[in-house]
Amino acid sequence: MDNVIFKRRSIRRFLDKPVEKEKIERILKAGMQAPSAHNNQRWEFIVVDDQAKKDAVSIMSPWSGMVAKAPISIIVLGKHNDESLNNWFAQDLGACVENILLQIVEEGLGGCWMGFYPDMDRVKMLADCFEVPEGIMPFCVIALGYSEDENRFIDRSDMSKVHYNKY
Ligand SMILES: Cc1cc2nc3c(=O)[nH]c(=O)nc-3n(C[C@H](O)[C@H](O)[C@H](O)COP(=O)(O)O)c2cc1C
C-alpha cells in the first residue's frame, strides 16, 4: 500500500518552482504507455507553460482556477473519428490520464485532472485557444508542479462494493 497508486491525491496548490524538462518527458511517456482499444494510441498532448495561455485556461471552467498558478499544464487530446469517439475514445484517454497522474507522483510532483470533454462548451474554448485542428478532440487538462501540500492518504477501500460470481 506504499506505491504511487495509494499516494496519489489531487494537488491544486503549487510551489513557484519550475518542473524539470526530463520529468515532463517521463510523465508524457508514461501517458503514452497506457493500454488503448485496438492499440489505437489516439492521444496527443499540448504542454502549456505560457502565462497568458494558462490564465486563459484557468477561467474556462469553474474548477480550473489552479492552472494560472501551476508551472505546467498538460492538455490531453485525442484523434477521433465518429465511431471511435462514440465507443472507446474516453476510455483510452482516461487510461492515459491516470498513467500521467501516477507518474507525476513518481516524479515527486503533484497534479490534478480537470474534466473538459464531454462539456462541449469547454472543449470548444480549449480548441479555439490552442488552434486545435478538426479531428482532434481536447479531452482534459492536468495541472502539475511541485506541491505545496503533502499528499494525504485516504483509505477508500469498501469491500461491500465487491461481488463474487453474481451481484
Ligand atoms: C473526470 C474528472 C474530472 C475532474 N475535474 C476536476 C476539475 O475540473 N477540477 C478539480 O479541481 N478537480 C477535478 N477532478 C479531481 C476530483 O475532484 C478528485 O479526483 C476527487 O475529488 C478525489 O480526490 P483525490 O483525487 O484527491 O483522490 C476531476 C477528476 C476526474 C476523474
**pLDDT attached to residue 81:** 77
pTM: 0.97
Domain ranges (residues) in the chain: 4-149
Q: Which of 144, 126, 157 is nearest to 66 (CA)?
A: 144
Return mean pLDDT, the chain.
95
CA of 166 to the centre of ligand 1 (A): 31
SS3 108: coil
Measured distance CA(109)–CA(144) in Å, rounded? 7
Q: Does pLDDT of 150 surpass 90?
A: no
Which of 58, 60, 97, 114 to mutate to test ligand 1, by most ligand atoms within 8 A of the CB atom?
A: 114
SS3 13: coil
| In CATH, 4-149 is 3.40.109.10 | yes
Measured distance CA(42)–CA(79) in Å, rounded? 5
Count of H-run helices and E-run strands, the chain: 6, 4
61 close to ligand 1 (CB < 6 Angstrom): yes
Residue reference for cell 497508486: 5
Q: What is the pLDDT of residues 46-92, one digit of tens each?
A: 999 999 999 999 999 999 999 999 999 999 999 987 777 778 899 99
Measured distance CA(139)–CA(19) in Å, rounded? 23
- For residues 62, 107, 90, 136, the Cα torsion angle rounded to the nearest 10 degrees is 80
**pLDDT attached to residue 55:** 98
